[in-house]
Structure 1
């Protein structure tokens, strides 16, 4: 009997030695950069699906909110976005009596929401399956993983109930946009003469703003074709800038083009070239700085979420004014009243001119990032490298946003007031989000280690 007991004891030791114990350090190292990877994957899908810039901002923001809320119970210094974002309340918490690994729940919540916002749902599903396979290789406890997946899925689905009430589906039932055949009003431009993009985007529910018109910019310059008028002078500035463009300014225009769907003709065939959206460019900047700062997972989630929210509300604010003022594009005006053979450097996007979308959303994103990390944060922006463009270096987030804004003049697609007033509008949106949205419980600003600037 003693011999049998001794045998079973040694057998237990052998089996225990063969059973891998979860390696917390390995698991956390695996999880640390997952939000970077998932936002990059989301960008790839957005480019593939050819979503417009406003719609792309919607696709970025909701999965990141899901990831943030799923992580929250593990980080008591942070607070929920419920009752801070318009209409958001009643989110579930992890079921009691079960052990969870919330970084995994966070990714599943992100994936669950993202799948419902894109056309290429299968790409997200495949990426999720690969994620689950990889996290299992860290020797995470199977029951803990199952609990985490279930919680992430539950939270994601609950958020989808809120998301579906933001007016996105209803906008398709609204009346078709009708061109205004009046002097000074927007008209489609070559080569595709595409119809107006998202004329009803101001019907989308903002996340933090009280209304789409909360931050209306100053009125645009009154349309005029006489040579002494301000409008003619602004048009001549665009005309002369493009005709005398130097190499540096041309590079700036190309770097910030961010046109998700450039069309061009080859013979009798029209072809298309897809690129990153303006919002996607700023999400990539957020990722770059978060990596540079070596942020932990929750800090990274906070960064992505706050930037995405500022972009989302920025697009709503911008598009509200675009279809109210309905200003003609430089290309149309210059070809009609100055030089019929003139062409812009960049392809004119299919929506009204005022204000500049790049200026608005860049001002909003830069204000958010400056709040999180401080002024004079130098960084290298490699967002456009996958699209054949070199890196650019910036001394601060506002430096980048100002370059993004003026790039529209260099590209020949915006007048100066749309750029300057758009930048002011974006900064007001960003500052409102900074002031009203609280992700930390006991600090008006992020702690010192987050707000530090880079040398």
Structure 2
């Protein structure tokens, strides 16, 4: 499995730390590095757990990010728990009054516990990596405070928060969703313009991925009742609005620049070889955290917001995908425009409208812009080091952006370049993703 150089670097760094820092006198890292290290291993587990999918992964990021925040929020007087503001979670256990806690140890224990449980199907070797990272930081912080009672109390509290959130997760409709990626008994209505299994596919299946995912519980109650995006009526007449959307895809394929090809590959995030599209959003959060080096609660809030935003974006996107159940370019264009046409990038196995890439990217951009500003320049090196795609004669080169919205817009456009989505699907996806991200921003994070 190919791994981006950033992921490799972070993982090798962690492994080096494991080997060199068994000495309990090691200096505790800065706050941001503790949080970012757990984000790194979250993406590593996401990428290296078989039968994963963007839908299931998005859900995992939601619970893992929320756990990071809730495990430490009571240690920061200006902040408050958001548990009671979420969809059916209710109040979580609070720390005992008058007793001291180490919030680094609480976060460390909570992250290990939620990842082990939410990714229960991952390999024994991956679970050992989680255990190793947990033990490494436990040694460092326990040695730094020199108080076994505080250490044990903090670890216990972090684990209790993780297990409470995990128990809540089991009732959302997506628990162990990797066991039912495809419903082979479900029969869909055949209608003009409906989704068809493509011949040129990312992972070929006669059945679409997670057709029931849109029934799952959202993290935010408001996100369960969003107004669906507006689609276009089916019309194969040349010159009609519907036809012209596909004609744009067809014409673009002829004139793709090398940079556009690179963008199409960069944001593809095939779950068979990467940390999935929501994992890429979690990675952007890590870029922001490592660049700005905020305190621990700001880091945790970042991952909680991004995680829940991408989770609700995918849930709603899948609800609407099966509501509209629309075709992709690889079925429309060969039938009505050019029988020999083939997209630059293969189709994923699910309906088209709206774009999942665009929705989760819009949700992420809304959240990260609110946290880090609208002029946050950064370079994304997530896939640097992956072997060149010889079939498409395209390499994985780093992408530079002047804002999170610029990255989100390229994420959406990458699906147009790849021939995966018509422009309207990307536009509607960005709009609805932004709405979801704004809902997350409007939670009362501070007192």
TM-score grouping bracket, smaller chain normalisation:
0.7 to 0.9
Q: 1:276 to 1:174 in 2, by over 3 A?
A: closer
Structure 2 equivalent of residue 446 of structure 1: none
1:268-417 aligned at under 5 Å gives the runs: 274-385=273-384, 387-388=386-387, 389-417=396-424
Instruction: List gaps (5 residues or longer) in structure 2.
Output: 1-23, 388-395
- Separation (CA, whole Å) in 1 of partners of 2:66 and 2:356: 23
- Separation (CA, whole Å) in 1 of partners of 2:352 and 2:225: 17
Q: What CA deviation, in whole Å up to 9, does each residue of 1:181-209 have, x standing for no partner?
A: 33210011134431211111111111114
User: TM-score normalized by structure 2?
Assistant: 0.85
Q: What CA deviation, in whole Å up to 9, does each residue of 1:243-267 have, x standing for no partner?
A: 2211111111111111213xxxxxx
1:83-122 aligned at under 5 Å gives the runs: 83-96=84-97, 99-118=100-119, 119-120=121-122, 122=124
Q: Does 2:173 align with 1:167?
A: yes
Q: Does 2:251 align with 1:236?
A: no
Q: 1:130 to 1:416 in 2, by over 3 A?
A: closer
- Separation (CA, whole Å) in 1 of partners of 2:34 and 2:117: 20
Q: What CA deviation, in whole Å up to 9, does each residue of 1:212-251 have, x standing for no partner?
A: 3414111x22222222322222111111101221111111
Q: 1:209 to 1:87 in 2, by over 3 A?
A: closer
- Separation (CA, whole Å) in 1 of partners of 2:129 and 2:176: 30
Runs (4+) of structure 1 moved beyond 6 Å?
Answer: none
Q: What's the CA shift for 1:279?
A: 0.8
User: TM-score normalized by structure 1?
Assistant: 0.83
1:186-225 aligned at under 5 Å gives the runs: 186-190=195-199, 191=201, 192-194=203-205, 195-218=207-230, 220-225=231-236
> Which of 138, 154, 160 is equivalent to 2:160?
154
- Separation (CA, whole Å) in 2 of partners of 1:37 and 1:108: 13
- Separation (CA, whole Å) in 1 of partners of 2:32 and 2:240: 57
- Separation (CA, whole Å) in 1 of partners of 2:305 and 2:329: 34
Structure 2 equivalent of residue 36 of structure 1: 36
Paired residues in the alignment total 404
Q: What's the CA shift for 1:78?
A: 0.7
Secondary structure at 2:166's aligned position in 1? Answer: helix
Secondary structure at 1:275's aligned position in 2? Answer: coil
- Separation (CA, whole Å) in 2 of partners of 1:94 and 1:181: 55
Q: What's the CA shift for 1:97?
A: 6.4
Say whether the 8 Å CA contact 2:116–2:130 is kept in structure 1: no
- Separation (CA, whole Å) in 1 of partners of 2:422 and 2:173: 31
Q: What's the CA shift for 1:46?
A: 1.2
Q: What's the CA shift for 1:424?
A: 1.1
Structure 2 equivalent of residue 62 of structure 1: 63
- Separation (CA, whole Å) in 1 of partners of 2:98 and 2:424: 59
Secondary structure at 1:33's aligned position in 2? Answer: helix
Q: 1:127 to 1:84 in 2, by over 3 A?
A: same
> Which of 414, 435, 438 is equivalent to 1:431?
438
